[in-house]
Amino acid sequence: MLGGVLSGLLIACSAPSAEAQGTAETLLYRNAEDGTPLEAALYLPEGPGPHPAVVVLSLAGVSDLVERMRAAGWAVMVPVRRGTAGTPERLLQASFQDLAADVQAARAHLGERPEVDADRVGLVAQGGETVVGVLAAGGSDPPAFLVLLSARGVPGSETFRHEQRASATARGLAPGEVRELEELVQRLMEVVRADGGTDFGAYRIRALLEAAGVRPRQSSSLPAELEGQVEFFSSVWWRDHVVVDPTAHLRQLRVPTLVLMGTWPSDRLGINLPPVRRALEEAPTADATLCVVEGRVEHAFPGVALEALEGWLGPRLGSDGAAPFSSRPEAAAPPVCLAGAEPG
């Protein structure tokens, strides 16, 4: 059953090596805390190094990012999210802390490569991966820097409510059905907060769904059948998606951080931008840049986002790319950033 629950989601998490420019080397390593076997694609630039490097967490295509960073002399490591290689239950059973430990294991493994400068390994996370990226960056061995594209500013419960409301409107549900769906989502979130990740939680979720006249919409990651929805909503992964507040961890960041937000979709920007801005203002890091660019930066790496990334990294790494990575809180935001988005 689990294979059906996450089939769509895991298609989006497939190994990215086939689409990226250059020959990728497959890396095999383990999460040191729970022993989970992990895999990543490594793209190296020309030359012996040691090169600065980034670990990229993304469910979107990474070829544009890989090509641009390799051309600039960066090594790029793209981990495959656990559960992709025929074991989707590994993701459903994983907490966000487990996934953050996966990221830390990837960064540690990358730093052991002779072609890589272990002191200049940063982390880039996009969309749904940004919360795990922030958790990983806040660990005892943080990356040299953190870049977040389309960062989350609210718990997944708020995002899910918003998505279900928008879906109900798009599907043309009657007002009574919309109210029933909203009540169901509210009760589901209450159960997940109280008993998510447990057998009792699964029992309660099943009872709610069986009694519901309307259910949450089907998406690439949410199955349509009852059994699939019960397993999905009662999983450890979904519990953390619902309850983890990204801003609580953003407020703890100490490393240089760039947050890129796109103007589209505007409703998502409106939900996430204010809490992200407040959290960065309160974070201990002295070097935080909030950059809003035209377009969408969640499901791709458009040119405007890559320009912003290069513009932000340049002053902190030196024009020749050989200097140690350094905090530059006085550096101006990249020119492509729209005015008025910086913290402070």
Residue 341, pLDDT score: 65
Q: 9-155+245-317 in CATH: which number?
A: 3.40.50.1820
Domain boundaries defined on the chain: 9-155+245-317, 156-243
| Position 337 pLDDT exceeds 60 | yes
Residue 86, pLDDT score: 62
State the average pLDDT over residues 106-129: 96
Contact 328, 315 (CB under 8 A): yes
| Position 14 pLDDT exceeds 50 | no
| Position 344 pLDDT exceeds 90 | no
Residue 64, pLDDT score: 97
| Position 2 pLDDT exceeds 60 | no
In terms of DSSP bridges, do strands 257-262 and 288-293 run parallel, antiparallel, or are they unpaired?
A: parallel
Question: What distances in angstroms separate CA 125 from CA 193, 210, 216, 265, one per listed residue?
Answer: 26, 37, 28, 19
CA 107 to chain centre: 15
State the average pLDDT over residues 242-260: 98
| Strand ordering across the sheet containing 257-262 | 25-30, 37-43, 75-80, 51-57, 116-126, 146-149, 257-262, 288-293
In terms of DSSP bridges, do strands 75-80 and 37-43 run parallel, antiparallel, or are they unpaired?
A: antiparallel
| Position 26 pLDDT exceeds 70 | yes
Residue 124, pLDDT score: 98
Q: How many Cβ atoms sit within 10 Å of the Cβ of residue 256?
A: 25
Question: What distances in angstroms separate CA 341 from CA 281, 295, 331, one per listed residue?
Answer: 12, 15, 15
- H or E stretch covering 41: strand 37-43
> Which tens digits make up the pLDDT trace of 96-113?
999 999 999 999 999 999
| Position 16 pLDDT exceeds 80 | no
| Position 119 pLDDT exceeds 60 | yes
Residue 206, pLDDT score: 98
Question: What distances in angstroms separate CA 59 from CA 23, 133, 158, 218, 330, one per listed residue?
Answer: 20, 13, 21, 19, 33
Greater pLDDT, 22 or 175: 175
State the average pLDDT over residues 288-298: 96
Q: What percent of the chain has pLDDT over 90?
A: 79
> Which tens digits make up the pLDDT trace of 187-227?
999 999 999 999 999 999 999 999 999 999 866 678 889 99
Residue 342, pLDDT score: 60
Arithmetic mean of pLDDT over the chain: 90
**Three-class DSSP category at 336:** coil
Residue 167, pLDDT score: 87
Alpha-carbon distance 251 to 264, whole Å?
Answer: 25
Peptide bond connecting 302 to the previous residue in cis, omega within 30 degrees of 0: no
The tokens for 75 are 């090594």
Nearest to 290 by CA among 152, 153, 148: 148
Residue 19, pLDDT score: 45
Backbone angles phi, psi at 296, to 5 degrees: -115, 135
